[in-house]
Amino acid sequence: MDGFQTDIIISNHRELLFGAGITLKITGISFLIALGLGLIVGIARSGDGWTGKIFTPYVEIFRGTPLLIQLFFIYYGLPSIGIVLDNFVAAYLGIGLCGGAYISEIIRGSLYSVERGQQEAAASLGLSRFQTLVHVILPQALQVAIPPLMNSFSSQLKETSLVSVLAINELTRSGQMVYSRTFRPFEIYLAVGMIYFIMTYTVSLFSRYLEKVFHVEGKMAQK
């Protein structure tokens, strides 16, 4: 039985790192889409008006079906009704729409965590509902939302492995291609796993930093 062959990883590190770069690109763009959607839908659903009910089907559908099926539907299903999307665009939309549904619930829960008395106090000071949301509610809600939002980013980073089914050479597919040439699954998938771990652990460290920053700012605001 052959021993661990480090040279397999070294000789193919450029391809794996290129795949990691594609993974980060897809994660970044899809997370921005998810964050924008999540803010809009989360704010809309935090109230009791009809606007929140409009977005309920979107949230329930994308949270209640597997991301892989959503990607298949967007990339392979939509062309049957004349909507043809580039594989990268399909990846951005698929992960972004799914992530947006989850982030909307994070935002909605964070908004509920702010005491209602603060809204009443802002109204008594003459602030409009929009001014109250921007200057009073959202800054406090973000302190609560930062940890789950960073966790959502990490989840989306790992979920990009699914876009390999769309023939995108992200990290997982790059690893598969290297394995198909070398027939060394142990070394290749160990390297792929370590790269994912390094990326997600970096996000975790950044999340802790943001938590400290918002915690300090929150204490200063209370004084």
CA distances (Å), origin 197, targets 20, 145, 157, 202, 203: 11, 23, 10, 8, 10
Contact 161, 68 (CB under 8 A): no
Residue among 180, 213, 175, 221 at smallest CA distance from 194: 175
Q: Where are the domains of the chain?
A: 10-222
pLDDT tens digits in sequence order for the chain, 223 residues long: 477 889 999 999 999 999 999 999 999 999 999 999 999 999 999 877 777 889 999 999 999 999 999 999 999 999 999 999 999 999 999 999 999 999 999 999 998 888 777 777 777 777 777 787 777 888 888 888 988 999 999 999 999 999 999 999 999 999 999 999 999 999 999 999 999 999 999 999 998 888 887 765 555 454 4
Rounded to two decimals, what is the model's pTM?
A: 0.89
For helices 50-64 and 87-112, the axis angle rounded to 10 degrees is 120
Residue 114: strand, helix, or coil? coil
Which tokens hold the place of 176?
């598969």
Looking at CATH, the fold of the domain delimited by 10-222 is given as MetI-like fold (1.10.3720)
